[in-house]
């Protein structure tokens, strides 16, 4: 009797495909990254220190010298400031996202994922979802600190939650930029540097820390069409905080809609580029 031996198939196993599998695989990867975060608590702790330092330094060092609407009252500037600090916190999470993905690529973890029957885009989607959860926790702690130093909202709970929702949406959009950077460099250190070098002009050429009224016309125009300025303006409007500038620029007149449009556009463009880069890198 002749034995029949099956020839083993080579290559990575292929999943069933479809949206259902992609969602399940993304949630599994997100859970893996969240568990990893709990086992390395210093990552979360250090992520909290920087925004808290910004709140304290800007509130008490610069608060009395800033004029908001003709008032130099430190409490007025504190309420003006917080939307900018919230927005800066969610966007600076981009650097961590890029470094984490670059670290996974550097250690060969992505090659292990390739051997599993899973959706290809799930690795990136799961990572960005885990970063979103971490950002939400950071934002919650930062809001408590802001309340302790005197920040207050003057609208209803629905508008306040809407402001935080827009902030998280923009933060999630920016993590896809970080994902693309993480896939494009060779080391986590390079991903961290690359993730921060473009964030500083984006966050500081804006209405986050100072009013745009005194900027030169060309710089003010850039600041008013900056996606970061739109989310800061939307948050101030929904929180009822001072600093809603009288500007003719469309994003400043309709900041909530501008924030939504910018966020969706960034996700659509950079998720497509990141997933394509990931597939090419692991082909």
* pLDDT score for 10: 43
Q: Average pLDDT, stretch 189-200?
A: 82
* pLDDT score for 63: 62
Q: Average pLDDT, stretch 190-196?
A: 80
Question: What whole-number distance in Å separates Cα of residue 130 and Cα of residue 198?
Answer: 23
Q: Average pLDDT, stretch 242-268?
A: 89
Which band of pLDDT confidence, cut at 50, 70 and 90, is reported for residue 176? very high
Q: Is 184:87 a contact under the CB 8 Å cutoff?
A: no
Residue 69 has pLDDT above 70, yes or no: no
Lowest pLDDT segment from 52-56, 157-161, 198-202, 218-222: 52-56
Query: What does the chain come to in residues?
Result: 283
Could you read off the pLDDT of 141-175 as tens digits, one per residue? 889 888 888 888 999 999 999 999 999 999 999 99
Which band of pLDDT confidence, cut at 50, 70 and 90, is reported for residue 187? confident
Q: Average pLDDT, stretch 174-192?
A: 85
Which band of pLDDT confidence, cut at 50, 70 and 90, is reported for residue 1? very low
The model's pTM: 0.84
Which band of pLDDT confidence, cut at 50, 70 and 90, is reported for residue 12? very low
Q: Average pLDDT, stretch 61-82?
A: 73
Instruction: Provide the CB-side half-sphere exposure for 222 (13 A, CA).
Output: 10
SS3 36: helix
Two tokens, residue 251: 């994003």
Question: What whole-number distance in Å separates Cα of residue 17 and Cα of residue 122?
Answer: 11
Residues 6+ apart with CB under 8 A from 211: 68, 243, 245
Residues 6+ apart with CB under 8 A from 102: 181, 182, 183, 185, 186, 187, 188, 190, 191
* pLDDT score for 3: 47
Question: What whole-number distance in Å separates Cα of residue 28 and Cα of residue 8?
Answer: 28
| Long-range contacts (CB closer than 8 Å, 24 or more residues apart) made by 203-209 | 203/84, 203/87, 203/88, 203/91, 203/92, 203/228, 206/84, 206/232, 207/84, 207/232, 207/233, 207/243, 207/245, 208/83, 208/84, 208/85, 208/87, 208/88, 208/232, 209/58, 209/81, 209/84
* pLDDT score for 92: 85
SS3 190: helix
* pLDDT score for 261: 96
């Amino acid at each position: 009797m002749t034995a029949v031996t099956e020839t083993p198939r080579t290559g990575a196993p292929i999943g069933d495909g479809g949206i259902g599998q992609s969602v399940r695989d993304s949630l599994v990867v997100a859970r893996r990254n969240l568990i990893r975060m709990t086992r390395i608590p210093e990552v979360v702790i250090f992520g909290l220190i920087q925004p808290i330092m910004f709140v304290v330094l800007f509130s008490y060092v610069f608060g009395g010298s800033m004029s908001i609407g003709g008032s130099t009252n430190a409490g007025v500037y504190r309420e003006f400031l917080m939307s900018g600090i919230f927005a800066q916190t969610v966007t600076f999470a981009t650097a961590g996202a890029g470094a984490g993905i670059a670290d996974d690529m550097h250690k060969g973890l992505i090659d292990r994922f390739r051997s599993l029957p899973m959706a290809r885009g799930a690795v990136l989607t799961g990572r960005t979802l885990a970063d979103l959860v971490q950002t939400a926790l950071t934002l919650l702690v930062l809001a408590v600190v802001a309340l302790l130093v005197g920040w207050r909202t003057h609208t209803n709970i629905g508008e306040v939650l809407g402001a935080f929702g827009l902030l998280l949406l923009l933060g999630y959009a920016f993590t896809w930029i970080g994902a693309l950077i993480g896939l494009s460099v060779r080391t986590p250190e390079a991903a961290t540097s690359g993730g921060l070098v473009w964030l500083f002009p984006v966050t500081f050429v804006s209405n986050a820390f100072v009013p745009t009224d005194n900027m030169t016309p060309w710089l003010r125009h850039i600041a008013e069409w900056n996606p970061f300025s739109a989310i800061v303006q939307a948050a101030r409007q929904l929180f009822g905080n001072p600093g809603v500038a009288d500007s003719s620029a469309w994003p400043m007149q309709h900041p909530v809609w501008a924030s939504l449009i910018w966020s969706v556009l960034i996700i659509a463009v950079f998720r497509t580029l990141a997933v394509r880069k990931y597939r090419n890198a692991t082909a």
